[in-house]
Amino acid sequence: MESEKKLILDVNESPKEIGQWIILAVQHLLAMFVACITVPLIVFNSYEVGQGFANAGAKVSYVGLNGQSFASALIAPTLVAAGVGTLIYILLTKMKSPVFLASSFAYIAPMCAAISLGSVPLMKDATGALVAASEGASVVAAYGNIWALPIGMALVGLVYVAVALVVKFAGVAWLNKLLPTIVIGPVIMMKFACQLTKKLGIPTVISMNTIMVDGTGMCGACRLLVGGEVKFACVDGPEFDGWEVDFDQAIQRSRLYKTEEGRLMLRLQEGDTHSGHCGVCS
Summarize as ranges the residues that interact with ligand FES (CB under 6 A).
212-215, 217-222, 232-234, 275
Closer to ligand FES by CB, 68 or 216: give it: 216
Reference 25, options 15, 34, 37; nearest CA is 15
Which residues are CB-contacts of 271 (< 8 A; sequence separation ≥ 6)?
none
Q: Tell me the pairing of strands 47-48 and 141-143.
A: unpaired
- Least separation in angstroms between residue 254's CB and ligand FES is 11
> By CB neighbour count within 10 A (0-12 exposed, 13-18 middle, 19+ buried), where does 36 fall?
buried
Closer to ligand FES by CB, 71 or 212: give it: 212
Closer to ligand FES by CB, 124 or 267: give it: 267
First to last CA, the chain: 34
Half-sphere exposure of 60 (CA within 13 A, CB side): 25
- Least separation in angstroms between residue 135's CB and ligand FES is 49
Closer to ligand FES by CB, 125 or 229: give it: 229
CA distance 146 to 117: 10
By the 8 A CB rule, do 268 and 209 touch? no
In whole angstroms, how large is the CA radius of gyration of the chain?
Answer: 25
- Least separation in angstroms between residue 274's CB and ligand FES is 10
- Least separation in angstroms between residue 217's CB and ligand FES is 5
> Helix or strand or coil: residue 87?
helix
- Least separation in angstroms between residue 255's CB and ligand FES is 16
Closer to ligand FES by CB, 44 or 232: give it: 232
Which DSSP string do the residues of 249-280 spell out, in sequence order?
HHHHHHHHHTSHHHHHHHHHHHGGGG---SSS
Closer to ligand FES by CB, 180 or 215: give it: 215
Closer to ligand FES by CB, 124 or 277: give it: 277
- Least separation in angstroms between residue 216's CB and ligand FES is 6
Residue 130's beta-bridge partner residues?
Answer: 124
- Least separation in angstroms between residue 218's CB and ligand FES is 6
In this structure, which amino acid lies at residue 159? Answer: V
